[in-house]
Structure 1
């Protein structure tokens, strides 16, 4: 038997990074986080370089604007930026 999907707001967020091609030929990087129940974007951040700060800033903004529920699950593709010590500590602290 499959468990019932969650119906509580801010219980599951998904996050990913994509690049945005700019008119001058360079790229900007966009990190977004989306709440699964509402399908709303809970936060985003853009940087000119793919750095750990990109997802840290996004996550800090999310916690500030969208208080998570106890047991919040943040899902990502587990690339090196999402597996870094600072990101994991920030998740653990909240």
Structure 2
């Protein structure tokens, strides 16, 4: 049995876990309930996973964390954008 199967399975689950938050943020145009400090710490952690995955040549780690990084950057951008937009009113 190829151990990478577990890596890909974990990658799908942990990456997909951020889709509901991103969809909710984009639909409601609000991200007040998303902690900025937690989001920033998570993004730094994901960047560390990307470096680690690259160094050990692990495709599951790289793919999962690159997609997770993109999703979380979109959540961060949305949070910053929507908080500025709502403070103008």
In the superposition, the TM-score normalised over structure 2's length comes to 0.30
In the superposition, the TM-score normalised over structure 1's length comes to 0.29
Query: Greater CA radius of gyration, 1 or 2?
Result: 2
* Larger RCO: 1 or 2 (CA < 8 Å, sep 6+): 2
Greater per-residue strand proportion: 1
